[in-house]
Structure 1
Amino acid sequence: MADGTKFLLLFLLLNSLTLCFCTKQDIRCLKSMQQSVIDPKSVLKSSWNFENETDCFICRFTGVECWFTYENMVLSLLLGNLGLQGAFHQGLHDCASMIGLDLLNNNFSGPIPPDFSRQVPYLTSLDLSYNRFSGSIPQNISIMTYLNLLNLQHNQLNGQIPP
């Protein structure tokens, strides 16, 4: 085979490879989040389209920040002020690389799951303020060693923040 043909075949092969590294766990996390919340303004329903699996598609979803633009790995969920409702989402463990969660000023209610800190152990920022969460602040929130920002104000939580 001529050198020019080899080069062209190599170029076409490399050009057809995707540079987007997709994480099925993160996609599963977002799908379950979308299904578990009540979204009266249809923000997630309209912008979180799982049918169009183009490269790095979840990085273009409203409120989703990815680690890099060429991969589907959730860095943060910034879902504040969207009017979302429902209980605290239980499927966050699939967003294994997530370090930020902002649910500020929505209508979430009910308890914060006691195993929450095990679901997302690497969070550095957690803002659950201005919702209707109730019950006790989970004791094992104190084992979240990377947590730098914790905002729980204006909820119906009781007890102290664990030391």
Structure 2
Amino acid sequence: MRLSQCLFLLLIFFFKGCNTTNTSLEPCYCHDEESSALLQFMQSFTINASASGLVGAYPKVSSWKPAQGGNNTCCCAWDGVECDEETGHVIGLNLRSSCLYGSINSNSSLFRLSHLQRLNLANNHFNYSQNPTSIRNFPRLTLLDLSASVFSGRVPSELSQN
């Protein structure tokens, strides 16, 4: 085979590889109602660097963007959000040290994430909010971290009954 033929074949393989879509990427199955709940939750807070005093703290929710102009954004790809690969339901939310400042009450959109298994809100400033009793809306919850998050009141008894 001549050099020109080899180069031609090499170019064909190169361009074919560049023009095909990556089939190994999983499609996003983020549920609209969960994406909406996350965006509402994010909008209920202000971002304040002093709300998370740890080195490396940054507002993870700043990567959360609503769909615009027909372009879907996948909440499963948002920083701090973990989804079940089969169902697309949000099962983990890690907003540790995310500079969140504000209050959480029992009707927060957060509590619409009924498939949540892990919730980490540590090292934020929730402005002495009462520990919400709506935590019972998470029957699958196996991990909860609210440390250094400026809550007040007793831990709901529902948490100790699992």
Question: Normalising TM by the smaller chain, what interval?
Answer: 0.5 to 0.7
Deviation larger for 43-52 or 130-139:
43-52
Runs of 4+ in 1 over 6 A off after TM superposition: none
User: Percent identity of the aligned residues?
Assistant: 29
- Structure 2 equivalent of residue 97 of structure 1: 115
What amino acid sits opposite 1:67 in the alignment?
Answer: D
Q: Give the conservation status (yes or no) of the 8 Å contact 1:48–1:58.
A: yes
Q: Give the conservation status (yes or no) of the 8 Å contact 1:115–1:140.
A: no
Cα distance in 2 between the residues matched to 1:54 and 1:125: 33
Describe how 1:9-24 pairs up with structure 2 within 5 A: 19-24=27-32
Compute the RMSD of aligned alpha carbons.
2.7
Q: Structure 1 length as normaliser, TM-score?
A: 0.65
Tell me, yes or no, if structure 1 residue 79 matches structure 2 residue 95: yes
Change (3 A) 1:45 1:115: closer
Q: Structure 2 length as normaliser, TM-score?
A: 0.66
Structure with greater Cα Rg = 2
Q: Give the conservation status (yes or no) of the 8 Å contact 1:74–1:95.
A: yes
TM superposition shift of 1:87: 1.4
What residue ranges of structure 1 are gaps of 5+ in the alignment? 1-14, 146-163
Q: Give the conservation status (yes or no) of the 8 Å contact 1:84–1:106.
A: yes
1:63-107 CA-to-partner distances (Å, cap 9, x unmatched) read 111112x76421211000111111125222321211010011111
Bigger share in strand: 1
What residue ranges of structure 2 are gaps of 5+ in the alignment? 1-22, 50-57
Change (3 A) 1:55 1:28: closer
Cα distance in 2 between the residues matched to 1:30 and 1:132: 21
Change (3 A) 1:138 1:24: same
Change (3 A) 1:80 1:38: same
- Structure 2 equivalent of residue 111 of structure 1: 130
Query: Relative contact order (alpha carbons < 8 A, sep ≥ 6): 1 or 2 greater?
Result: 2
What amino acid sits opposite 1:97 in the alignment?
Answer: H
SS in 2 for 1:108: coil
